[in-house]
Amino acid sequence: MAEGERPRLLRLVQEGRLDLLQEELQPDATLGPGVQNQHYGRSGDTLLHYAARYGHRDVLAYLVEAMGMDIEVFNSDYKRPLHEAASMGHRECVSYLLERGASVDCLKKADWTPLMMACTRQNLEVIKALVEHGANPLLKNKDGWNCFHIASREGHPEVLQYLLEVSPGSWDTESTIKRTPLHTAAMHGCFDVVELLLERCQYKPDSRDKCGVTPFMDAIQNGHVDIARLLLEKHQACPTAVDALGAQPLHRAAVTAQDEAIQFLVSELGVDVNERVTTLQLTALHYAAKEGHVHTIQTLLGLGADVQAKDGKSRSVLHAACAGQQAAAARTLLHAGLRDTPDGSGVLAQQLARNPDVIQVFQEMDVSP
């Protein structure tokens, strides 16, 4: 078979056409070494990788047993066939490779094991097969995540419950930037997982990552108010805790335009809408203006935010909008009655404008100090 015809073999493997694959390969015994050593595309996958990825156990067995392919062959990312089968949730392929002696904790690029990849899916049978063959749940990848951390991100309570059974200490882990599974579950809105973690694990309230972010902050800045409530009720989270820069959840919610979360903090929890970041003396309104979140600006103003507020360098909210080149935000603030006054250095907000749309706003409204 000519070199240019080999992609046909790849297609047959992808489609699981074992009968046609055998017809292609059996007549010519010289094809064996070529099939074994052929890598396809930039990923460098072999036929064995494709068979495992698409879940064709019979093709996988034929390539291993009849064609002599190495079950530990790796691609450009050092990914083995076991990684492929585990990540796609193909239990029969996983079991076959393990029975043939595949290394259960082999590492691909960034130090991901097959068990970690299996935990990205809600396939408990594959995870059990790997653990029963000796997979170590406590291994960490390059980012410091173990499989428990990964399952927390994906929102799989039943997987987490199983991992706690076979490895009770797997919950007690932090990433390289000190983020816990509770941080990750709160950030991704996995309510059932957060509930499980609070019931079964012993995370400290308001644990902080390297940026000083707490799980409550993660929930708020991503708009997961239900999880924020749960953390308040079940974990004594502090709604006014500050991160490494001195920002509270209110400020982080303003950056990400989470209006419902802002309403919750101010109206229900009594957080001061004009609270300032301790290091820069910025208000939530400054952040919303800089990011150009017009609706959030209106929400904050409706809750009593001070449109005349200035930061530690006497820069107004309008300065923030113009520095961020946010025309719609500047227009909203000017309509709210904010004048273009100089900051502590005598710089007007309009002097910061480089965006023609922002400049036009000042021209249209004939603004002067």
Q: Burial level of 50, CB count in 10 A (0-12/13-18/19+)? A: buried
pLDDT in 10s for each residue of the chain, 369 residues: 444 445 889 999 999 999 999 988 875 655 666 677 789 999 999 999 999 999 999 999 999 999 999 999 999 999 999 999 999 999 999 999 999 999 999 999 999 999 999 999 989 999 999 999 999 999 999 999 999 999 999 999 999 999 999 999 999 999 999 999 999 999 999 999 999 999 999 999 999 999 999 999 999 999 999 999 999 999 999 999 999 999 999 999 999 999 999 999 999 999 999 999 999 999 999 999 999 999 999 999 999 999 999 999 999 999 999 999 999 999 999 999 888 888 888 999 888 988 899 889 988 877 655
Q: What is the predicted pLDDT for the residue at 320? A: 95
- The per-residue b/e assignment along 103-125, b for 16 or more CB within 10 angstroms, e otherwise, is ebebbbeeebbbbbbbbbbbbbe
| pLDDT of the residue at 364 | 86
Determine contact, residues 344/312, Cβ cutoff 8 Å.
no
Encode burial over 88-101: b for 16+ CB neighbours within 10 A, e otherwise. bbbbbbbbbbbeee
Residue 89 Ramachandran class (φ > 0 left, ψ -120 to 50 alpha, else beta): left
The b-or-e profile of 126-137 (16+ CB within 10 A means b, else e) is bbbbbbebebeb
Specify the CATH class of 1-102 in words.
mainly alpha
pLDDT for 367 equals 64
CA distance 363 to 340: 12
Query: Which residue(s) pair with 45 in the sheet?
Result: 40
pLDDT of amino acid 340: 87
Give CA–CA dist 94/112, Å, rounded. 16
Rounded (10°) CA dihedral 313, 319, 324, 325: -150
Question: Which residue, 46, 49, 119, 125, is CA-closest to 92?
Answer: 125
CA separation for the pair 75, 49 (Å, rounded): 8
Q: Check if 1-102 and 272-369 are the same fold.
A: yes
Using the CB atoms, write b or e for 282-304: b if 16+ within 10 Å: bbbbbbbbbbbbbebbebbbebe
Phi and psi torsions of 316, nearest 5°: -80, 175
Domains of the chain by residue range: 1-102, 272-369
Q: If we measure between CA atoms, which residue out of 207, 277, 222 comes closest to residue 245? A: 277
Q: What are the angstrom distances between the C-alpha of 79 and each of 43, 127, 353?
A: 9, 18, 50
d(CA 330, CA 356): 13
**pLDDT at residue 8, rounded to an integer:** 87
User: Architecture of domain 272-369 in CATH?
Assistant: Alpha Horseshoe (1.25)
What's the confidence (pLDDT) of residue 32? 64
Determine the pLDDT at residue 31. Answer: 61
Rounded CA-CA distance 16/19 in Å is: 9
* pTM as predicted: 0.91
